[in-house]
Amino acid sequence: MSKPDKDINHGLEKNIQTDFQKAMSYGDYLHLDKILASQHRVSDHHDEMLFIIIHQASELWMKLIIHELSAAIEYIRQNDLEPSFKTLSRVSRIQQQLIQSWTVLSTLTPSEYLEFRGKLGQSSGFQSYQNRLIEFALGNKNIHTLAVYQHQTELYEKMLKALQKPSIYDAAIHALVARGIHVDQEVLDRDLSKKYEPNQSVEEAWLKVYRNVDQYWDLYELAEKLVDIGHQQQIWRYHHMSTVERIIGHKPGTGGSSGVTYLKKVLDQHFFPELWTIRTKL
Ligand code: HEM
């Protein structure tokens, strides 16, 4: 094949960049060589590609959620609520993207999945450390979930640190106090590595905000953004559970759990509990 003639336009605009000897290209910037060389099927089954890409794409979106949530937590801790709203809105849109992706996976039939399931060994989304970081950031802390990282010292240490960091809900409760609303000291001094437990003073604090919206508009907006994110996370979990049931029925999971029964129990772990209970009391 002959080389393209540089002097002929071929329908492109004249100034379009074509020489990347010294300039950074799209692929260089995005490291596409690495990303697009990371889909290694362990079977020769056609549908395994969908299975790999849906997981990898989900992990990329999770990375962005963690990035945005960390920024939001920092803003709220500094009592700078406005910028956190923008960030939390973005988190919510990313979650919608993740929820939507289940419709692609639902085209995988039980018999197609069975063609390569045996080759997956013990690997399971249960070991997704990014999912765990998101759950921690939303307040669902559980040290026992870290056992699966014991063989990776560096990651295990990183996860232990994350477990001890304030969740977005801890930050929001401190924001209530910063506005002069009472919350029991034991909540403020709580062991951050433990799952957040509902507390009456926190419920009363949120009730105050919701009953005096004009006075506490920013806290009210923050609360509604959190409810939105907690709600979407539950929808993601529900779609996962339901898709799993559609594909493997009630077989145990590759990660060793009871499968759908376990995933249904996960749905009982609510985020930001008082923001839900106040709805009955308002
Ligand atoms: C054929 C598709 C899928 C099946 C059959 C499946 C099955 C399961 C099962 C049974 C569990 C429970 C743990 C275990 O015993 O393995 C689990 C957990 C999990 N899966 Fe999936 N999954 C699928 C797709 C996905 C996808 C696309 C993602 C996206 C990243 C994902 C993320 C997760 C996460 C984060 C958990 C942990 C949930 C928790 O402990 O809260 N899964 N999956």
CA 258 – ligand 1 centroid, Å: 12
- Could you please state the CATH topology (level 3) that the domain comprising 44-281 is classified under: Methane Monooxygenase Hydroxylase; Chain G, domain 1 (1.20.58)
Q: Is the pLDDT of residue 7 over 70?
A: no
Ligand 1, CB within 6 Å, residue ranges:
54-55, 58, 105, 108, 113, 124-126, 128, 131, 240, 244, 247-248, 253-257, 259, 262-263, 266
pLDDT in tens, 179-189: 999 999 999 99
pLDDT > 90 fraction of the chain, expressed in percent and rounded:
94
**Mean pLDDT to the nearest integer, 174-200:** 97
What distance in angstroms lies between residue 124's CA and the mean position of ligand 1's atoms? 6
Judge whether residue 167 has pLDDT over 80: yes
Q: Which atom of ligand 1 is nearest to the CA of 62?
A: 30
Average pLDDT for residues 29-42, to the nearest whole number? 98
**CA gyration radius for the chain?**
23
Long-range contacts of 277-281 (CB under 8 A, 24+ apart): 277/198, 277/203, 278/203, 278/206, 278/207, 278/210, 281/203, 281/207
Taking CA atoms only, the protein residue closest to ligand 1 atom 6 is: 244
Question: How far is the C-alpha of 193 from the C-alpha of 202, rounded, in Å?
Answer: 19
Q: Quick: pLDDT tens for 127-154.
A: 999 999 999 999 999 999 999 999 999 9
Q: Where are the domains of the chain?
A: 44-281
CA of 231 relative to ligand 1 center, distance in Å: 19
Residue nearest to atom 35 of ligand 1 (CA): 125
Going by C-alpha positions, the residue among 62, 81, 57 that lies closest to residue 136 is 62
Cα of 191 from ligand 1 centre, angstroms: 29
Instruction: Tell which atom from ligand 1 comes closest to the C-alpha of 259.
Output: 10
Q: Which atom of ligand 1 is nearest to the CA of 248?
A: 5
Identify the band that residue 6 occupies on the pLDDT scale cut at 50, 70 and 90.
low
Q: Kindly give the distance from the C-alpha atom of residue 280 to the centroid of ligand 1, in angstroms, as a whole number.
A: 33
